[in-house]
Amino acid sequence: MWDEVEARSEENGHETPVIELRKIVRLYEMGGELIYALRDVSLRIHRNEYVAIMGPSGSGKSTLMNLIGCLDTPSSGQYFFNGELVSKMDDVDLAAIRNQQIGFVFQTFNLLPRSDALRNVELPLIYAGVSKSERHDRAVQALDHVGLSDRMTHRPNELSGGQRQRVAIARALVTNPSIILADEPTGNLDTRTGQEIMRLFEELWKQGNTIILVTHEEDIARHAARIIRVRDGRIESDGPNNERVRAVVDDVKGG
């Protein structure tokens, strides 16, 4: 079994990474002062990896996620998305990545308060120019997927925190992205609800998605197969979460 896992990761290693950062620096200038949010960050993430990014507040986690999600551009260094240099892409290419390949989940859910769950989930499809009836069907399906078929006409303030985050996950999934970026998705949820949300990510991972998740909770990071620790804008460590990898192998053996 271990041979098989190693062979598979070996094979994976030769594949073009979906995400490759080379010596990325992100500098902010504030009141004449320079702040290095990221210094010399290099990393590769392959298809279907499940990565947790950990680090104290202010260490650069959100900056890193925004860069990976093409919501921000580095001060220097190179970012390759599926082997292509992001700085060479035009607005149409970038919008296509953001709208079709990546699904974003945020700590504060970022739902439209006056729109019901269905409308919130339909939104990315409106931007993508999908027809009204297809939009509706796909949003219904995505909400069903996260267990909210009975809450479609509820507005965010009529939903619990966990339900709001599930709406946000449905919104991230409705465009069928292969990569899910989640920045502290359980940060505003109680432990039990947080674990429920983690089960959803688990399922998405098993379905073949690439999951990149920021958290400062060890309990949440434990779910990932790889843990990257950042401190002061630098990668402090990056390696497999051995406990998790072993559990997956046992699971495969058992089933």
Closest approach of Mg ion to the CB of residue 201, in Å:
18
Relative to beta strand 84-85, strand 76-81 is antiparallel
Closest approach of Mg ion to the CB of residue 61, in Å:
5
165 binds, among Mg ion, ligand ADP, none (CB under 5 to 8 A by kind): none
Q: Decide if residue 59 touches ligand ADP (CB under 6 A).
A: yes
The Cα 172–Cα 168 span in angstroms is: 6
Q: Is 231 in a helix, a strand, or coil?
A: strand
- Residue keyed to tokens 């991230």: 172
The Cα 157–Cα 35 span in angstroms is: 37
Using CB under 5 A as the binding rule, the residues of this chain from 36 to 65 that contact Mg ion are 61-62
The Cα 240–Cα 225 span in angstroms is: 6
Binding mask 124-143 for ligand ADP (x = CB under 6 A): --------------------
Task: For residue 86, report the phi and psi dihedrals to the nearest 5 degrees.
Answer: -65, -35
Q: Which is nearer to ligand ADP, 121 or 235 (CB)?
A: 235
Closest approach of Mg ion to the CB of residue 1, in Å:
37
Residues in the chain: 255
Closest approach of ligand ADP to the CB of residue 60, in Å:
4
Q: Which residues bind ligand ADP (CB under 6 A)?
A: 28, 30, 35, 37, 55, 57-63
Residues at the site binding Mg ion, with contacts judged by CB under 5 A:
61-62
